Structure 1
Amino acid sequence: MNNSYDVIVIGLGIMGAAALWRVAPKCARVLGVDAFGPSHCYGSSQGASRIFRRAYWEGEKYLQLLNQADLLWNELEDVTERRLLYRTGGVFIGAKSSRVVAGSIKTAKHGKIDHEVWMASDARKRMPAFNLQDEMLAVYEPGAYAISASEARLWMLNEAVRCGAITEFGNHVLKLENHGTAIRVTTKNGRIYFAGSVIVTVGPWVTNNLMPEFKSFLEPRQVPIYWFKPKVGADKLFSHEQFPVFLYEREDSSLLYGVPSIVSNELGVKIGFHNRQQNSISPSWKSAPVQDMYKNEISSIIQSILPKLDPIPTQAKNCFYTMTRDESFLIGISKEFKSTYFASACSGHGFKFAPAIGDALANMAIAQKPNCSLLAFSADRFNSSL
């Protein structure tokens, strides 16, 4: 039957694109479906850049996935013969006891990840763009880098199509149903497909119709991102050759992240809060403007810690985080549908893991063992706490 596939991937953001890329060479018939166009700016995969780091303050449980993701990001760059990774290094700044500093050092030591710890005076010499207080420390990871995010996602899709995958854009999936040994997939335009396995990676829309079993576990949030231009004469300080990707934990535990501009159409240094300025919201296809009070708050902070940036953002946009209660990932197999695998949510820090998570989902979809353990990210951890 022309409407039968070995694997259907629903949602082609970065997780779905990675899954499609990894599963396409392993199956005869693979389909990827997305509600929007190939380069849409909705959901959580939009934008020109993301951070990759392995000295992960969030914990050692992520190391196996990070190591696998690092290998696959480099594989993608090699196979496409395109520059997708910018070797900026990464610096993680905070008080000695802060989560970012203490956690990054702990994970780096455990994973034998190359790193240095700088006192504030040394950090100021090495990174003159930053204004650091004397009591702060900086953990430097030379192997950290910036990912050309939108381009990397499109190249994953290109590689999947080159390997035989079919993609269908502009048609979202309304429902899944068990159908004998297969899964029946019904779309908005009336098309019906059947699959031996399904991979669901639709971000904040996962609980709308497809997998309501996760509704109590997930909370979509609207989160602003900003871009700042260097002041006159300071451009070189913020070039990707000079300015590392960074995390900066303030005294109140609010956490900033930043990425230098790595593509010509990105208007300056991208900076945002990871754990602040978030509003719970239902996922929508319309982007609300960023509130003025949020712009004023981050402008004041930029003026203090990065005084050679113009504190007025050149651009501000909202994106989605799909959060779990413990701010970790939700990855596994559905208990309601046969052979249906999912990855959502990623709680605002999942992009860097996409090749490894996509590879794991691809392996599970063809009844192979994933290369990385996913037990720590199972939904069962929430059921056991009820």
Structure 2
Amino acid sequence: MMIPALPENRIVLGVGVAGVDFLAAVASFPNPDDKIRSTSFEVQGGGNTGNALTCAARLGLNPRIISKVADDSHGERILDEFERDGVDTSFMVVSKGGNSPFTYVIVDNQKKTRTCIFTPGYPPMIPDDLPKSKLSSALDGANIVYLDGRLHETAFIVAQEAKSRGIPIIVDAERLREGLDDILDFASYVVCSTKFPQAWTNAPSIPTALVSILLRLSNVKFVIVTLGEGGCLMLERTEAENTQFEEMDVDELYKKLKQREDANATIPTCISSNVGKLCANGIGMVNGKLHVGTAENIPPSELVDTTGAGDAFIGAVIYSICADMPPQKMLPFACQVAAIKCRALGARGSLPRWNNPRLTPFLK
């Protein structure tokens, strides 16, 4: 099978958290005061930006990362792992003393869920850690900027400079965070966790929340919400003004697209609407298309851990943007990358490389 060519636009700059994950799998989550034994244990790099950029690097892009670690053993491990995976650490900040970020992750083998306990790095990153000359160099030649919503003061400065250079920005809206609204104002693309759209907009449903997001963020070309085993949903803005577009209730449209899903399909697919005036009752209307991305039906015996699945999905979306993929190819590809990741413990253990045979059909 022919290996697909890499995209020409491959330089990605990411700003956010990079850390270490201590992952312990257990037969089932313990009750208070219980003492149990792990069934497996791993120590891997972690953090939203660290994971997404590692995914992008393995897919063949050239990521650069802006983040902060300490000069401790964890920080050394974080940097070494990035270097092995091809993530440029030239713009990382290393503090004297303090501690690097780390997370305890408990994976429940029975329910296939994970619980995370995060300890932030100290001292925290501040804008003064990133001189203008270093910021300028980090953005030179960049094709896209990724922000995970953390380190918001530094991310804001990077976003300002990226916008002035016309570099598109993708924002990971995982949850409500301090400073996230300011960063979202710069976004060209937004990828949300399942709960974020309604939490941010107070809309009555996820489809109506996506309409609200595009109305509030006028520069956003598309917004995606990940839905776990339910796949994902994308609302793509259409710029063309056409009075002949059909008006469609976005909730009803979503139901119709879901009804077209093939229950017997085992690999990810995409089901798309026509362009129309998508209406959200009491919220407003946008010209656009709705795309339903289905998840891979992973056999229970192969499903190990969902830690970092969203980061893998975003890494694949970043690749797709650089490769100028249409949504009909982007969403199945991103869902497939996330599914491959879920077959091993940790966020990075099974992140695929761009020549992985399981990805080749999605990159034709």
TM-score (structure 2 length as normaliser): 0.28
Higher relative CO (CA 8 A, sep ≥ 6), structure 1 or 2? 1
- For normalisation by structure 1, the TM-score amounts to 0.27
